[in-house]
Structure 1
């Protein structure tokens, strides 16, 4: 996420390395590179220029703080300005209606239907809501089928009307259905449309006027860069939407849309899509995104994701097993499953300060645990619970059964042994304190 932009900004800050004070000369050289990095990331020229001018005003004459070098001070100033440019504070979704009606709008191919499902899943699992998905794409039968597949996948009902070609009627009928059946959120998925298609733009404007949604969201593919910003402006002029959703931020995106869209339409980014899975949705925090763009990681989001998978009862059982030296491969497999639920590995590693930069050229696949799981699944129940019984003959059988090599099996056993010893050591005061801290932090949000 934003690797190229992060690298170029890092090089820009290196210009100040070794200087004892920020001056007009060295700050000009640094900000010239910052502006170039933003332009390369497909940020609008005027926005990039205004951005660097604001940073320059704050930087000139600043003395080096006792705990900061000039380069670090410049990073702080850029981070603060980036945060402000992307919206400053986090913007929540309006769920005040009964039911709350959310209208999804966007271009064809922006990922709107998939994200409607992600949003429904988010509201169901994180906000304890009972959402209803509504299929209002009357032009593409595959979109209605897709929404039904998504709904079945996440356990959310989908409302559609076969043969009805009036999206206004479908949306209105869906809201009546929601009221009669106890749904407290209605998510209306509309047809993708081009901003230049006057007839299609009139149609979504009519749906908007008829159902008076509590929240109108514009879904945009972040990989389209500056085009995404221009399209958002055209849609906003017609719908006056409430917020933006950026999809495909896990792809090879240059970041221009995330950085400049708020400045152009004056509407906040509310959610981002970070992968293909239904759980790959994050609330957009401008300050956290600024940290990630500047290579500082995002520890808060990482801890939050860990807390969502943290089960106090399971943790207590695990503690007892470790204390009795009964921690086996079934327990290890359970821990792997919890990590996988947190998101794709590349995204998680990018949240660790410095890790993203250190591993930028390393290709991290989503199935990074695949061979480990295959090895464990090739073990018998006895072998999983008592790894000490694994002799050469058993290892050979496991390697063949899992499609791996003896070396990979031995490597896993060695790593497992080291991890078991480390977990045993953590059974002391430090480990117990950490468990208590995780328990106390669960449910907290910044």
Structure 2
């Protein structure tokens, strides 16, 4: 997400380096480049104008304070304005009502409403310890009801059954009664989508809203539609009292125009962003963290939160102790590390949150393909326990058998072994205090209070 915008802004800001003061002359060209970057990212024109005007006003003639360069001063100004446009602070769901708190999900067909309902149910269960019920009011697509039932089962939410011969209002009212009887904390209501906005659709969802009086009405929209996402959200906002927006499919959105446009165009906050189909791929929208990602500064806070929530800490502790004692880093350890990374969304998701990734060459990013991790795990699974523990015994015939078992080539086995050797050398250095030295050097670069986080994943050695 934001790849193209980050790259363009990064190049633009570099041009300011070496200047002693931000003036009209050296800001003019920079603002033109920023404007083009925003337009290419499909940010809505009114939002582009608002951003540029605000940046110009604050940047003109500003003295560079302390050791800051003009480029750094300009980044600070752009960062502050991006945060302001996207809403300043994260806006949590307002569930402070007599249970069950009803959350109505609206949006066009294909936006990802049903998947988002399951993701939100899982988030509320695991993070907020809520008892959650879900119901589908999509009587036009029987497959949608079945899909929600399957997803509800996978995330451990209560599924309220519905059928296509019922009216959406009747379904919602019955679900609400059932939620009260079962002492449910939150009821998530999935609604029917359409390929386009139409009067029939709006009338139906208005009746639904009036019948169940939700405390939250969230508009789910595909971020890849760019500024159209903001326009569609605004149209829904005229028909419904929306309380927030959920941006989906952000993993496929290299531009980010929707994230920058929605708040201004609709006046409603973005509450969540979703990336991918997995039910854990939903995160709270933090404007300051997103601005940091856009400017290539990463999102260390979210990265640490994700590590804390998703890493198997018992396994990580055992691995750390093993490395401290000087034991060899074998292929079982490598497989564990790869699986931990996959559990956090894969390399692409991690890279999106790491500082400076906008400066990494595109060719290098493409090499960091999650498919390689899948292949590597498959190769390790194709080995015997002895081969995993003692990679040195892997010779010609064994390599051929392993490659065949994984449906790959012998050169893939060789590549795996080479990468394992490189990681083994790194782990050996870390076990001798290298990791502690690296963490100490990072102390000043991490957000306040996070300098002692001790590493990530299985690499929590001290």
TM-score exceeds 0.5? yes
The 1:431/1:440 distance shift into structure 2, 3 A limit, reads closer
2:426 aligns to what? 422
Aligned to 2:378: 374
CA contact (8 A) 1:44 1:226 kept: yes
Over the aligned positions, Cα root-mean-square deviation in angstroms equals 2.5
Contact 1:5 1:41 in 2 (8 A): yes
**Greater mean deviation of Cα atoms: 63-72 or 322-331:** 322-331
Q: Deviations over 1:107-144 (max 9, x none)?
A: 12211111111111221222222211101011221211
- How far does the alpha carbon of each residue in 1:270-326 deviate from its partner, in whole angstroms, 9 at most, with x for none? 000111221211111111111111222222222221112334332332233332515
User: Helix, strand or coil for the counterpart of 1:369?
Assistant: helix
Q: Which moved more, 1:80-89 or 1:35-44?
A: 35-44
- Deviation string 1:42-83 (CA, Å, 9 cap, x unpaired) is 222222112111111111121122222112211111111001
Checking the alignment, whether the CA contact within 8 Å between 2:132 and 2:188 is kept in structure 1 is: yes
Superposed counterparts of 1:407-418, under 5 Å? 407-418=411-422
Counterpart in the other structure of 1:401:
405
Q: Per-residue deviation at 1:174?
A: 0.6
Q: What SS is found at the alignment partner of 1:250?
A: helix
Q: Deviations over 1:78-107 (max 9, x none)?
A: 111001100011111122231121100111
| Aligned residues of 1:104 and 1:218 also touching (Cα < 8 A) | yes
* 1:391 shift after superposition: 3.9
Partner of 2:172: 171
The superposition leaves residues 248-283 of structure 1 with CA deviations (integer Å, 9 ceiling, x where unpaired) of 111144322110110122111000011122121111
Work out whether residues 307 and 456 of structure 2, in 8 Å CA contact, stay in contact via their aligned partners in 1. Answer: no
User: Are the equivalent residues in 1 in contact too, given 2:142–2:163 (CA < 8 A)?
Assistant: no
Q: Hey, what's the Cα distance between the residues in 1 that align with 2:234 and 2:397?
A: 66
User: Could you tell me which residue of structure 1 aligns to residue 280 of structure 2?
Assistant: 279
Equivalence for 1:213: 214
Distance change >3 Å, CA 246–CA 436, structure 1 → 2: closer
- 2:221·2:246 contact (CA, 8 Å) conserved in 1? yes
Asked if the contact 2:306–2:344 (Cα under 8 Å) also holds between the matched residues in 1, the reply is yes
Q: Which residue of 2 aligns with 1:312?
A: 313
Q: Using a 3 Å threshold, how does the CA distance of structure 1 residues 441 and 413 change in structure 2: closer, same or farther?
A: closer
Q: Can you give the 5+ residue segments of structure 1 that lack an aligned partner in the other structure? A: none
Q: Kindly report which structure 2 residues correspond to 1:70-149, keeping only aligned pairs within 5 A, or say none.
A: 70-97=70-97, 98-149=99-150
- The CA deviation at 1:431 is 4.9
Asked if the contact 1:16/1:26 (under 8 Å) is kept, the reply is yes
Q: Structure 1 stretch 65-74 or stretch 402-411: which is displaced more?
A: 402-411
Q: What TM-score do the two structures reach when normalised by structure 1?
A: 0.92
User: Do the aligned residues in 1 keep the contact of 2:27 with 2:59 (CA within 8 Å)?
Assistant: yes
Report the more deviating stretch, 415-424 or 215-224.
Answer: 415-424
Answer whether contact 2:329 2:427 (CA < 8 A) is retained: no
Match of 2:330 in 1: 328
Structure 1 432/183 Cα, relative in aligned 2: closer, same or farther at 3 Å? Answer: farther
Structure 2 residues not aligned, in runs of 5+: 440-449, 458-462
Distance 2:412 2:358 in 1: 26
Task: Give the TM-score normalised by structure 2.
Answer: 0.89
Cα distance change, pair 195–237 in 1 and its aligned pair in 2 (3 A): farther
CA distance, structure 2, for counterparts of residue 422 and residue 142 of structure 1: 50
1:432 deviates by: 7.2
Distance in 2 separating the partners of 1:283 and 1:92:
8
